[in-house]
Chains A and B, each alone.
Chain A
Amino acid sequence: GAVVSQHPSWVICKSGTSVKIECRSLDFQATTMFWYRQFPKQSLMLMATSNEGSKATYEQGVEKDKFLINHASLTLSTLTVTSAHPEDSSFYICSARVAAGGQETQYFGPGTRLLVL
């Protein structure tokens, strides 16, 4: 299957700082990537859809100025958590969309654990 990587795998930062998370599709090109957030013992919640070369589409309730998404190339999307606060601590997961044979499937990265002190 398609391989998606994320960097870093975990990060600890001070409140008020910004953190950038990278999501890469390693062996394929992805015009669309997705960013999810997963709270402990809960399911994945879609934050935004990232489209190469255009603005991201954010889900209701997600602050676009707080979670900046850039999809500058077909293999890289970045999520920047700006002015992070302790409530932003979470597990952030990206996925990339693969459409082959008319079947569209998402492949997920390993996630980035963010802890804001």
Chain B
Amino acid sequence: AQSVSQHNHHVILSEAASLELGCNYSYGGTVNLFWYVQYPGQHLQLLLKYFSGDPLVKGIKGFEAEFIKSKFSFNLRKPSVQWSDTAEYFCAMRFGGYNKLIFGAGTRLAVHP
């Protein structure tokens, strides 16, 4: 069955550290991939998305993600995190001709000042 895996459930970093959150998906065909962020007490916001073209996607707030088809991965990166990046991050996949999104379990990021 189609699924999305986020292997890091909790990540703790100090400010200015670099971030990489893993996301792997299982589907052999065309996929659209998304990263959403949920700040404490707020709703999900779209960070970035990949549909086609350049596999390195830049999003808001300095985030980027790289689609590596051979590895079925779409890892999220940020070179230098800030305390305000403390949030939960969700990777999601849309596959085939379906409208619906399949979400990963989420990664809770805590950034200490």
Q: Which chain A residues have a beta carbon within 8 Å of chain B's beta carbons?
A: 1, 4, 32, 34, 42-46, 49, 93, 95, 97, 102-111
28 sample A-B contacts, Cβ–Cβ < 8 Å, listed by A number: A1-B46, A32-B99, A34-B100, A34-B101, A43-B90, A43-B105, A43-B106, A44-B44, A44-B90, A44-B103, A45-B103, A46-B100, A46-B101, A49-B99, A93-B43, A102-B51, A103-B51, A104-B32, A104-B94, A105-B34, A105-B49, A107-B46, A108-B36, A108-B43, A108-B44, A108-B45, A110-B42, A110-B43
B49-A42 in contact (CB<8A): no
Chain B interface mostly = strand
Most buried by A among B36, B42, B90: B36
- Cα A34 to Cα B43 in complex, Å, equals 15
Q: How far is the CA of A103 from the CA of B94 in the complex (A)?
A: 11
What does the 1/0 interface line of B30-41 toward A look like (CB < 8 Å)? 001010100000
